[in-house]
């Protein structure tokens, strides 16, 4: 009986010793975590490992695009989701409209935007999408992939199944490849507003 008590006491002593020994180890790990957090905060504050800040576009086209965006937002409805794009003073508005009255409001809202010489509305009736096999996003991705689009100055939009291509291309062949790709990708219609970039 005495042997069992001694053995139990010895086991308890070993357990307590091991438990106490593990406490400094946990404390040391917590100290390392705090140090790492402090180091990361310092790195971010001093710019080390920080991401490069984005430069804001302050060009005349960017300012005109912001004005166009504000004019569309003020109209509310479907127009606040429309995408404005301005290039060399030419503006495009791509999106949907819910009614003929909303389309008329869009025309009036974008009529006199400072910095815009001409505005093209690429607006489609909301809910007019034909029964297509792919979503608008899938059609757009397929157009870009099929065309092998490498020109950063070209934007492809697909709204209610209709493809709208805006920007500058290097050649008529590149424009034709984009249009053909849109048809192969299943777009219900294709509107091209591209220009040939000056060489």
Instruction: Please write the tens of the pLDDT for every residue from 45-67.
Output: 555 555 555 666 678 999 999 99
Q: How far apart are CA 99 and CA 190, in angstroms?
A: 22
In this predicted structure, the answer to whether residue 37 has a pLDDT above a threshold of 90 is no
pLDDT score of 29: 47
The DSSP line for 117-140 is SEEEEEEEETT-----SS-HHHHH
Q: Are 110 and 71 in contact (CB under 8 A)?
A: yes
In the predicted model, is pLDDT for residue 145 greater than 80?
yes
pLDDT at 170: 86
**pLDDT over 60 (residue 181):** yes
Three-state DSSP at 144 gives: helix
88 vs 37, higher pLDDT: 88
Task: Say how many CA atoms lie within 13 Å of 157 toward its Cβ.
Answer: 21
| Cβ atoms < 10 Å from Cβ of 85 | 20
Position of tokens 């790709």?
A: 181
Cβ(124)–Cβ(159) below 8 Å: yes
pLDDT tens for 105-119 read: 999 999 999 999 999
* Cβ-Cβ contacts under 8 Å for 92 (sequence gap 6 or more): 84, 85, 86, 119, 120, 122, 164, 166, 193
The predicted model scores a pTM of 0.67
Confidence bin at 148 (pLDDT 50/70/90): confident
H-type alpha helices, the chain: 2-46, 60-75, 100-109, 136-147, 172-184
Average pLDDT of the chain to the nearest whole number: 81
Predicted confidence band of residue 9 (pLDDT cuts 50, 70, 90): low
Token pair of 108 as six digits: 């009036």
State how beta strands 154-159 and 162-169 pair.
antiparallel
Rounded CA-CA distance 181/118 in Å is: 28
Can you read off the two tokens belonging to residue 75? 């109209």
Residue 32 φ/ψ, nearest 5 degrees? -65, -40
């Amino acid at each position: 009986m005495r042997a069992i008590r001694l053995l139990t006491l010895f086991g308890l002593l070993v357990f307590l010793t091991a438990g106490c020994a593990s406490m400094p180890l946990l404390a040391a790990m917590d100290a390392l975590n705090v140090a790492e957090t402090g180091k990361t905060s310092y790195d971010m504050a001093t710019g080390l490992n920080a991401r490069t800040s984005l430069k804001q576009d302050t060009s005349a086209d960017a300012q005109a695009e912001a004005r166009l965006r504000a004019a569309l937002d003020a109209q509310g409805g479907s127009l606040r989701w429309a995408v404005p794009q301005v290039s060399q003073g030419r503006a495009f508005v791509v999106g949907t409209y819910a009614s003929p009255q909303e389309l008329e409001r869009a025309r009036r809202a974008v009529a006199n935007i400072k910095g815009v010489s001409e505005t093209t509305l690429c607006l489609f009736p909301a809910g007019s999408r034909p029964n297509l096999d792919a979503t608008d996003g899938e059609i757009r991705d397929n157009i870009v992939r099929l065309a092998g689009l490498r020109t950063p100055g070209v934007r492809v939009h697909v709204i209610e199944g209709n493809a709208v291509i805006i920007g500058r291309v290097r050649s008529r062949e590149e424009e034709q490849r984009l249009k053909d790709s849109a048809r192969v990708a299943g777009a219900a219609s294709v509107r091209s507003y591209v220009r040939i970039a000056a060489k």
